[in-house]
Amino acid sequence: MLKVEHITKRYHDKTVVRDISFALETGHICGFVGPNGAGKSTTMNIITGYLQPTSGSVSIGEIDIRKKPDEYRRLFGYLPEIPPLYPDMLVEDYLRFVHEAKGLDKQKRSEQVAEAMEMADVTHVRGRLIKNLSKGYKQRVGMAQAFLGRPPLIILDEPTIGLDPAQIVQVRNILLSLKEQHTVLLSSHILSEIGEVCDEIVLINRGELVAAGTEKELVSAHTDAARYLIRAEDGMLALAENAARELCPEVRCGRADAETLELAFPKEKDPGLQLTDRLIEGGVRFGELYRKTRSLEDVFLELVNAADGNDGGRA
């Protein structure tokens, strides 16, 4: 549905987005994740036509932004980093105003404004002045504006930024309710806030794409070993180590602490349940045995830190 191809953005001699390409499938929610200054907003502003790329192309469906800009504009709703709200307007009046400004079908205005308010869960504040709303509600009014007319693609730039934990949960629930019915691209610098709602993740750092795929793909691609932790008494751990080496001579063994043995098997030699069997056969009595899984967050931090490390580090 959305195709971003070789987007580069340069300001004078500074390249802030470098050769970014990715595609987003219809019905998917894609998290566009990277630390502050990574180039998320710049990329989103290019996708929405607010900024011209130095090179590269963007299309939604078969519509190329440069060839049919008017048609293209009708295909997405956008919540920019700073929501374009009018503080002195009432919520519903504001949404009616945006509906008109977007040139959406006048006949459907009341119906579509009501629908957008419902989707963003702001119907109960429709008669309130925007300036009197909490930050969480303001953000949701901004989201309602992006939902108007149910565009094929919804683009949200850091919808959870600056919100408190309860407000973040509310935004997350709205995002979850969009699942399967809508195609969404949303950005965040905090993976944990959006990771669970996303079908796929595009990770960027310093203007470059570092990884893209489903959570499973990313974690698997950046996991080099199958790791297990065994908790037992010291003497038993030595036995466990022997049993593991018999199973797989390449296993790497280390102590996470005095009572915990960490085993790292090469990914392609993951023993699975054989490990339990072998420990029991070897007479190892253990309190706990579990597989250590990496989270997407671990992968994200590792990729970002690796890139910063290569460059002497940058805040």
Residue number, nearest CB to Mg ion? 41
Shortest distance, position 161 Cβ to ligand ADP, whole Å? 10
Query: Which of residues 20, 41, 163, 243 is near Mg ion by CB under 5 A?
Result: 41
Look at residue 34 and give the partner it binds from Mg ion, ligand ADP, none, a contact being a CB closer than 5 to 8 Å depending on partner kind.
Answer: ligand ADP
- Contact 239/283 with Cβ under 8 angstroms? yes
Look at residue 38 and give the partner it binds from Mg ion, ligand ADP, none, a contact being a CB closer than 5 to 8 Å depending on partner kind.
Answer: ligand ADP
Q: Indicate the residue among 32 and 265 with the shorter CB distance to Mg ion.
A: 32
Shortest distance, position 138 Cβ to Mg ion, whole Å? 17
Q: Indicate the residue among 112 and 188 with the shorter CB distance to Mg ion.
A: 188
Question: Would you tell me which residues interact with ligand ADP (CB under 6 A)?
Answer: 11, 14, 16, 34, 36-42
Q: Indicate the residue among 7 and 122 with the shorter CB distance to Mg ion.
A: 7
What is the SS3 string spanning the chain? CEEEEEEEEEECCEEEEEEEEEEECCCCEEEEECCCCCCHHHHHHHHCCCCCCCEEEEEECCEECCCCHHHHHCCEEEECCCCCCCCCCEHHHHHHHHHHHCCCCHHHHHHHHHHHHHHCCCHHHCCCEHHHCCHHHHHHHHHHHHHCCCCCEEEECCCCCCCCHHHHHHHHHHHHHHCCCCEEEEEECCHHHHHHHCCEEEEEECCEEEEEECHHHHHHHCCCEEEEEEECCHHHHHHHHHHHHHHCCCCEEEEEECCEEEEEEEHHHCCCHHHHHHHHHCCCCCCEEEEECCCHHHHHHHHHHHHHHHCCCCC
Shortest distance, position 34 Cβ to ligand ADP, whole Å? 5
Look at residue 56 and give the partner it binds from ligand ADP, Mg ion, none, a contact being a CB closer than 5 to 8 Å depending on partner kind.
Answer: none
Q: Indicate the residue among 47 and 122 with the shorter CB distance to ligand ADP.
A: 47
Shortest distance, position 156 Cβ to ligand ADP, whole Å? 13
Question: Could you say whether residue 45 binds Mg ion (CB under 5 A)?
Answer: no
CA distance 95 to 76: 16
Q: Which of residues 60-79 bind Mg ion (CB under 5 A)?
A: none
Shortest distance, position 203 Cβ to Mg ion, whole Å? 15
Shortest distance, position 74 Cβ to ligand ADP, whole Å? 25
Shortest distance, position 21 Cβ to ligand ADP, whole Å? 17
Look at residue 16 and give the partner it binds from ligand ADP, Mg ion, none, a contact being a CB closer than 5 to 8 Å depending on partner kind.
Answer: ligand ADP
Q: Indicate the residue among 169 and 190 with the shorter CB distance to ligand ADP.
A: 190
Total of chain residues touching Mg ion, rule CB under 5 A? 3
Q: Indicate the residue among 33 and 117 with the shorter CB distance to ligand ADP.
A: 33
Cβ density class 52-69: b for 16+ within 10 Å, e for less: ebeebbbbbeebbbeeee
Look at residue 152 and give the partner it binds from Mg ion, ligand ADP, none, a contact being a CB closer than 5 to 8 Å depending on partner kind.
Answer: none
Using DSSP, state whether 281 is helix, strand or coil: helix
Residues at the interface with Mg ion (CB under 5 A)? 40-41, 81
